[in-house]
Amino acid sequence: MDYKVPLETYTGKVKEVVLGSGSKALKIGGQNILPLHYFEGQAVNRQVVALQIDDNGAAGWAEWIRAPFRDVLNDPVKWAHECIELGADLVCLHLDGTDPQGANKPADEAAALVKKISDSIDRPLIVYGSGDDKKDIEVLSAVAAACKGANLLLGPAVKENYEAIAGAVAENGHCIIAQTPIDINLEKELNVKLLKRLPPEKIVIDPLSSALGYGMEYSFTIMERTRQVGVIFGDTSMQMPVIADLGAECWKTNQARSDREQGLQWESTTAISLLLAGADILVLRHPDNCRLIRDAIEGKL
């Protein structure tokens, strides 16, 4: 008698989210399987890789990750184009310069920059604020209005500011990043609140991503559990794609900053781990790892 491998099938399905609009639209999610279990069901859209840029000239970045972009660091538009040429599926802009504890750039300046980048590239754009709860309301609201209809992925929306940011996102036709501090219950709670303002197809979960050796196990567990709850148990409040914004966490570690090769391995190992955990979008900093992870996703390794 031939042996047949037992297969699991699930009734739950991750929502398909479209980022960008028109010819630059990109789909993520849509799978009814656990991460990479292609033998058990459908994964209609592959995982994607973004390269990170910022509005602050890569201030504080390690030399190893500044080097590939040295000629464009002070021009975020050119930097975004360089990321695409180096293989990124999409670009992730961090508006670190708007931080009140830093350069405190005004919201209208940030919005003008985002629109300029969005209009000039042929890929979707992810935009993160500085992480200051109050300033992010002002900045992300201005960005949402300036780029109305561009279907950006904007965040982070956290429990302290999600209402205002969700309102701006909904009004101007964008998607939102729901961010919670590595806790499955807080993640679900925020998703439930956001679902009162936005359809699930407009929400992407950011459970926070730790670096290898710095609590990455927590990130892995929460991402893994998110996918299990959504796909296996069919919880509709947990069926959104997941973003892993891991580059910044990896490259600020002492290990990554002290040695180029070690830094590359720190970021790539973290990325592969979170890919296995269920991340749909991986945000990296180094282009060598962008190519490596894309090859891994496409089965070329």
Q: Which residues are CB-contacts of 8 (< 8 A; sequence separation ≥ 6)?
A: 37, 40
What is the model's pLDDT at position 39?
86
Please name every residue paired with 177 in a beta bridge, in sequence order, or none if there are none: 204
Q: How far apart are the first and last CA of the chain?
A: 35
- H/E stretch holding 297 reads helix 287-297
Residue 9 covered by a domain:
no
> Is residue 206 included in any domain, yes or no?
yes
Which residue, 9, 14, 34, is CA-closest to 278? 34
Report which of 257, 241, 234 is spatially closest to residue 202, judged by C-alpha positions: 241
Per-residue pLDDT at 4: 82
Q: What is the CATH number of the domain that holds 289?
A: 3.20.20.20
CA 41, 45, 46 angle in degrees (round to 5)? 95
Average pLDDT, the chain: 96
Note whether residue 7 is domain-resident: no
Q: What is the mean pLDDT of residues 107-129?
A: 98
pLDDT of 301 strictly over 80: no
> 156: cis peptide before it, omega within 30°?
yes
| Structure confidence at residue 299 as a pLDDT band (50, 70, 90) | confident
pLDDT for the residue numbered 60: 92
- The pLDDT of residue 1 is above 80: no
H/E element, 93: strand 90-94
Task: Print the domain residue range for 77.
Answer: 17-297
- 109 within some domain: yes
Statement: residue 257 has pLDDT above 80: yes
Question: Residue 41's pLDDT is what?
Answer: 85
Closest Cα partner for 265 from 251, 282, 278, 252?
251
pLDDT for 8:
86
Task: Please indicate, yes or no, if residue 8 is contained in any of the structural domains.
Answer: no
Q: Is residue 79 part of a domain?
A: yes
Condensed to tens digits (0 to 9), the pLDDT of residues 148-185 reads 999 999 999 999 999 999 999 999 999 999 999 999 99
262 vs 49: CA distance, rounded Å = 21
The residue with tokens 């190893």 is 64
User: Of 167-171, 275-279, 297-301, which range is least confident?
Assistant: 297-301
Question: What digits encode the pLDDT tens for the residues 23-76?
Answer: 999 999 999 999 988 888 878 899 999 999 999 999 999 999 999 999 999 999
Asked if residue 86 has pLDDT above 80, the reply is: yes
Burial status of residue 122 (CB atoms within 10 A of its CB: 0-12, 13-18, 19 or more): exposed
Per-residue confidence at 269, pLDDT binned at 50, 70, 90?
Answer: very high
Mean pLDDT of 268-285: 97
Residue located via tokens 């109050």 = 134
* Number of domains observed in the structure of the chain: 1
Q: Is residue 5 part of a domain?
A: no
Whether residue 163 is contained in a domain is answered as yes
pLDDT for residue 36? 87
Determine the pLDDT at residue 6: 82
